[in-house]
């Protein structure tokens, strides 16, 4: 199905099932421990052995020799494959660092060997017995030190966030020089880890020259393609199965060492091999959100209207990598005639930087939305009103290109009303409750809507049961449920009459999970397949497909009504189709918007910051399931708390690795850190987006939250911290003296 004109009335608009806050259909399996995650697929294949990856102990250099004699004699060892046993494996297009092969070391904990044994403990102990001789080389591990050498480069997150190396509109320097009120400030965000609940894990089994892996992966079609390329085998000989994923946040978008080394280990041992990455390997061997140094300059007239906007960002990555696209939202969020954005990349020898939930906008808004608050204060304006004054309904860089939907002003106004913004003191440090200094903060949220081709197969059996098959993944987001809702709505059956099968590369290729594109595109693919099936059913019954109604398990036309099961017959029926998009995304800017409001308390003696309450008001097209969408947003808000107040991968700048590479040292929010969270979805449909009239929302809930917390902390104390995370050591020396 080609979607190239705005959606009109269609079966989804009935909203009998779609749009309702239904419980997740996979919930009972997960809460009872029956959902089969990758490492637990004991049912998949018999006689599984255990693999363990040995990571490099240096960050830059080469391996001179590896002595595996003792390891091979260790109890239970079945096979050992080292990086010296083969030339460097070819990389898939999504990988920056090589996943295995050859003596050259590109980063700390790069995989250099896999040991296969009868038990996990035997494999781990044997890996520790491998003796490696390294030749160290000097490395570049300090972003601030390398920043002066950073080069202008284009950036594209692959998730709708991107920018050219440098882009100018109007005369920024001239407008900034003559602006009545100016801001010139630098903000930094640290390296961050995905820290998902389920680590990367794979079970691999060969049958002749065919490979099956049961793995934890967000993008099945990408994974199949890249695994085949890396191993040098035909793609048709590779099958991936990933029905349940215990979180990914972008860390499982791409092929990683667990899949490659499980496959190599299984080949060498001639046994199925199960392998999971330890937490240190998740931090140092996979990908992370790279640190940024962001300079923002704003100029405005005394009336508060922005006349000059500049956002320049520096980040680091391995040779051949890409920058964090932190300036992307600044190209679209606020009006202003004179503009400058730039991206610079410093080459570092740290582990690979790549997509983490809301790449670009998440760290970019942590800077931009603090700068907007600082500017509002300089102008003597309310921060909400300052943002509203500078709203735009067109792309600021192309006035002919309108937003398909843009309700940022409505998000901010409703949020201010619901949050009690009028009670906020404009002067920082004025509200005290015992030992706590209390303040409120606001930030705009922004995230682009990305359209991707997505396919599905829909089957109808003689009992009227509808089965959907697509390689779409559920990473904890509720894909099973919204896909079932879509099929139920389209085919006119109860939710209980729908079966959903996901995550298998033998199914039609979907959009996959990432960049908040999954829900809208995967359900649009199911919509397309259901439309094709509806037409086939109508044609079989001799009905006019344009007039046929699918309701209450029946197909009706005129005075005729036939049960779906009877229409399908004993052999059943099936249809496969995909959603493809025309040029609507080029003609209209498609984005999602939010107003984030936060209240914090800061301990007047210690500088400890505690979030007290949070509100997100979101405008993101049709909300397919308000319950699962709310869960996505409050989870994202929780990540925002972590980014603002605690999350930071500490870099050892001598040896080039992340020191706090486990959940004991890398702090993330826990239940006790998270207060009342409220989420409001504006009533919105976007017919420009898809036949579902939906957009993404999962990452929008994160974009802007960190800045709202930082702004609230400033309102509470009068202390402006521009270097995240806002830990008490950055506050305590500047706190007002206690009486």
Reported as a single tens digit per residue, the pLDDT across 101-160 is 999 999 999 999 999 999 999 999 999 999 999 999 999 999 999 999 999 999 999 888
User: Residue 599 to residues 380, 431, 705: CA-CA distances in angstroms?
Assistant: 21, 12, 11
**CA-CA distance, 420 to 429, in Å (whole number)?**
18
In sequence order, the β-bridge partners of residue 207 are: 210
3-state secondary structure of 529: helix
Query: pLDDT tens digits for 640-650?
Result: 999 999 999 99
2-35+451-586 — its CATH code? 3.30.365.10
739 pLDDT more than 60: no
**CA-CA distance, 262 to 227, in Å (whole number)?**
11
Identify which of 68, 137, 70 has the alpha carbon closest to the alpha carbon of residue 108. 137
Query: pLDDT tens digits for 29-71?
Result: 999 999 999 999 999 999 999 999 999 999 999 999 999 999 9
Predicted pLDDT at 737: 82
- CATH class, domain 398-447+590-739, is alpha beta
Give the number of C-alpha atoms closer than 13 A to the C-alpha of residue 713, restricted to the C-beta side.
31
Token pair 């609940």 in the structure block, residue: 197
Kindly state the average pLDDT of the residues 232-243: 98
Predicted pLDDT at 261: 98
Query: pLDDT tens digits for 157-188?
Result: 988 899 999 999 999 999 999 999 999 999 99
Kindly state the average pLDDT of the residues 77-91: 97
**CA-CA distance, 671 to 116, in Å (whole number)?**
38
1 and 531 in contact (C-beta within 8 Å)?
A: yes
472 and 522 in contact (C-beta within 8 Å)?
A: yes
pTM over 0.85: yes
Predicted pLDDT at 160: 85
Give the number of C-alpha atoms closer than 13 A to the C-alpha of residue 729, restricted to the C-beta side.
4
3-state secondary structure of 182: strand
In sequence order, the β-bridge partners of residue 595 are: 444, 617
CA torsion through residues 140, 141, 146, 151, sign: positive
374 is catalytic: no
Q: How many residues does the chain have?
A: 739
Query: pLDDT tens digits for 598-615?
Result: 999 999 999 999 999 999
Q: In the chain, what are the domain boundaries?
A: 2-35+451-586, 38-138+199-284, 398-447+590-739
3-state secondary structure of 668: coil
Helices (H), 294-407: 361-379, 383-389
Kindly state the average pLDDT of the residues 472-478: 97
User: Residue 384 to residues 214, 412, 680, 738: CA-CA distances in angstroms?
Assistant: 49, 7, 17, 31
Yes or no: is domain 38-138+199-284 CATH 3.30.365.10? Answer: yes
Whether 2-35+451-586 shares its CATH topology with 398-447+590-739 is answered: yes
């Amino acid at each position: 199905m080609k979607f190239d004109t705005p959606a009109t009335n269609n079966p989804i608009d009935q909203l009998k099932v779609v749009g309702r806050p239904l419980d997740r259909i996979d919930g009972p399996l997960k809460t009872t421990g029956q959902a089969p995650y990758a490492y637990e697929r004991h049912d998949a294949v018999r006689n599984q052995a255990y693999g363990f990856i040995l990571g490099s102990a240096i960050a830059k250099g080469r391996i001179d020799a590896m002595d595996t004699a003792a390891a091979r004699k260790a109890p239970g060892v079945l096979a050992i494959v080292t990086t010296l046993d083969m030339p460097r494996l070819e990389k898939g297009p999504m990988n920056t660092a090589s996943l295995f092969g050859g003596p050259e070391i590109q980063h700390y904990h790069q995989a250099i060997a896999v040991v296969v044994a009868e038990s996990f403990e035997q494999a781990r102990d044997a890996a520790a017995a491998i003796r490696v001789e390294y030749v160290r080389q000097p490395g570049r591990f300090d972003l601030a030190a390398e920043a002066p050498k950073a080069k202008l480069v284009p950036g594209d997150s692959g998730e709708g966030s991107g920018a050219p190396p440098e882009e100018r509109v109007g005369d920024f320097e001239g407008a900034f020089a003559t602006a009545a009120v100016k801001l010139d400030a630098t903000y930094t965000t640290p390296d961050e880890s995905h820290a998902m609940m389920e680590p990367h894990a794979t079970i691999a089994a060969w049958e002749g020259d065919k490979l099956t892996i049961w793995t934890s992966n967000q993008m099945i079609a990408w994974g199949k393609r890249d695994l085949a390329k890396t191993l040098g085998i035909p793609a048709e000989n590779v099958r991936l199965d990933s029905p349940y994923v215990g979180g990914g946040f972008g860390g499982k978008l791409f092929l990683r060492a667990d899949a490659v080394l499980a496959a190599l280990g299984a080949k060498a041992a001639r046994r199925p091999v199960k392998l999971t990455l330890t937490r240190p390997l998740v931090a140092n061997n996979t990908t992370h959100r790279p640190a940024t140094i962001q300079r923002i300059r704003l100029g405005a007239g005394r009336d508060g209207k922005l006349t000059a906007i500049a956002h320049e960002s520096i980040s680091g990555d391995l040779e051949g990598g890409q920058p964090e696209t932190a300036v992307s939202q600044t190209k679209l969020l606020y009006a202003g005639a004179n503009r400058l954005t730039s991206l610079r990349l410093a080459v570092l020898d740290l582990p690979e930087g790549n997509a983490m939930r809301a790449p670009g906008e998440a760290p970019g808004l942590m800077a931009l939305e603090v700068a907007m608050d600082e500017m509002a204060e300089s102008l003597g304006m309310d921060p909400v009103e300052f943002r509203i004054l500078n709203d735009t309904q067109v792309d600021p860089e192309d006035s002919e290109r309108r937003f398909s939907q843009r309700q940022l002003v409505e998000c901010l106004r409703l949020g201010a009303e619901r949050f009690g913004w009028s009670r906020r003191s404009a002067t920082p440090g004025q509200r005290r409750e015992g030992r706590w200094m209390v303040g409120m903060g606001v930030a705009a949220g922004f995230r682009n809507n990305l359209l991707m081709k997505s396919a599905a197969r829909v089957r109808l059996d003689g009992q009227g049961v509808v089965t959907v098959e697509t390689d779409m993944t559920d990473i904890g987001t509720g894909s099973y449920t919204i896909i079932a809702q879509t099929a139920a709505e389209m085919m006119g059956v109860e939710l209980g009459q729908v079966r959903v099968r996901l995550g298998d590369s033998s199914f039609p290729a979907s959009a996959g999970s990432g960049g908040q594109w999954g829900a809208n595109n995967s359900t649009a693919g199911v919509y397309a397949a259901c439309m094709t099936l509806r037409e086939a059913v109508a044609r079989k019954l001799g009905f006019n497909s344009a007039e046929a109604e699918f309701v209450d398990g029946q197909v009706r036309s005129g005075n005729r009504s036939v049960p779906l099961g009877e229409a399908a017959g004993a052999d059943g029926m099936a249809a496969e189709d995909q959603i493809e998009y025309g040029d609507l995304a080029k003609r209209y800017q498609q984005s999602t918007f939010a107003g984030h409001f936060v209240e914090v308390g800061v301990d007047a003696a210690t500088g400890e910051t505690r979030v007290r309450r949070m509100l997100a008001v979101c405008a993101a097209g049709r909300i397919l399931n308000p319950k699962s969408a709310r869960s996505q947003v409050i989870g994202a808000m929780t990540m925002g708390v972590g980014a603002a107040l605690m999350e930071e991968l500490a870099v050892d700048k001598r040896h080039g690795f992340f020191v706090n590479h486990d959940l004991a040292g890398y702090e993330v929010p826990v239940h006790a850190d998270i207060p009342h969270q409220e989420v409001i979805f504006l009533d919105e449909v976007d017919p420009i987006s898809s036949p579902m009239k939906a957009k993404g929302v999962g990452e929008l809930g994160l974009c802007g939250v960190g800045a709202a917390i930082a702004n609230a902390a400033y309102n509470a104390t009068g202390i402006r911290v521009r270097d995240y995370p806002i830990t008490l050591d950055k506050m305590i020396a500047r706190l007002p003296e206690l009486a």
